[in-house]
Chains A and B, each alone.
Chain A
Amino acid sequence: MRYFGHKSLSSILYRLTQAGWILMIPGVLALCTLLFFALFQIDLGDPITSGINGECAKMTHDQDWQEMMSMPPLARTVVFPYLFLVTFLLVQILRKSQSLFDNFRNNSVFRTANVRILSNLNKYMIALAVVTFNPATLLVCLILMLVTEILKDGSTLQDELDLTV
Chain B
Amino acid sequence: MGIVFRLDRMMADRKMPLNELARRIDITDANLSILKTGKAKAVRIATLEAICRELNCQPGDLLEYDPDKPPAE
Nearest B residue (CB) for A159: B41
Q: How far does the alpha carbon of A22 sit from the alpha carbon of B14 in the complex, in Å? A: 63
CB proximity of A147 to chain B, nearest CB, Å: 24
User: Which B residues are CB-close (under 8 A) to A165?
Assistant: 27, 31-32, 34-35, 40, 42-44, 47
| B53 in the interface (beta carbon within 8 A) | no
Q: How far does the alpha carbon of A160 sit from the alpha carbon of B41 in the complex, in Å? A: 6
User: Which A residues are CB-close (under 8 A) to B39?
Assistant: 163
Determine which residue in A160, A164, A165 has the highest number of CB atoms from chain B within 10 A of its CB, and name it. A165
Interface residues of A in 110-165 (CB under 8 A from B): 159-160, 163-165
CB proximity of A6 to chain B, nearest CB, Å: 24
Nearest A residue (CB) for B41: A163
User: Which A residues are CB-close (under 8 A) to B31?
Assistant: 165
Nearest A residue (CB) for B5: A165
CB proximity of B43 to chain A, nearest CB, Å: 6
CB proximity of B13 to chain A, nearest CB, Å: 20
Q: How far does the alpha carbon of A160 sit from the alpha carbon of B44 in the complex, in Å? A: 12
CB proximity of A26 to chain B, nearest CB, Å: 47
Q: How far does the alpha carbon of A59 sit from the alpha carbon of B41 in the complex, in Å? A: 67
User: Which A residues are CB-close (under 8 A) to B41?
Assistant: 159-160, 163-164
CB proximity of B59 to chain A, nearest CB, Å: 14
Q: How far does the alpha carbon of A160 sit from the alpha carbon of B39 in the complex, in Å? A: 10
Q: How far does the alpha carbon of A165 sit from the alpha carbon of B43 in the complex, in Å? A: 5
Q: How far does the alpha carbon of A15 sit from the alpha carbon of B43 in the complex, in Å? A: 41
CB proximity of A160 to chain B, nearest CB, Å: 5
Interface residues of B in 23-73 (CB under 8 A from A): 27, 31-32, 34-35, 39-44, 47
Which residues of B are at the interface with A, using a C-beta cutoff of 8 A? 27, 31-32, 34-35, 39-44, 47
Which residues of A are at the interface with B, using a C-beta cutoff of 8 A? 159-160, 163-165
Lowest 7 CB-CB distances: which A-B pairs, in order? A163-B41, A164-B42, A165-B35, A160-B41, A165-B31, A165-B40, A163-B40
**A-B pairs with beta carbons under 8 Å apart, 20 shown:** A159-B41, A160-B41, A160-B42, A163-B34, A163-B39, A163-B40, A163-B41, A163-B42, A164-B40, A164-B42, A164-B43, A164-B44, A165-B27, A165-B34, A165-B35, A165-B40, A165-B42, A165-B43, A165-B44, A165-B47
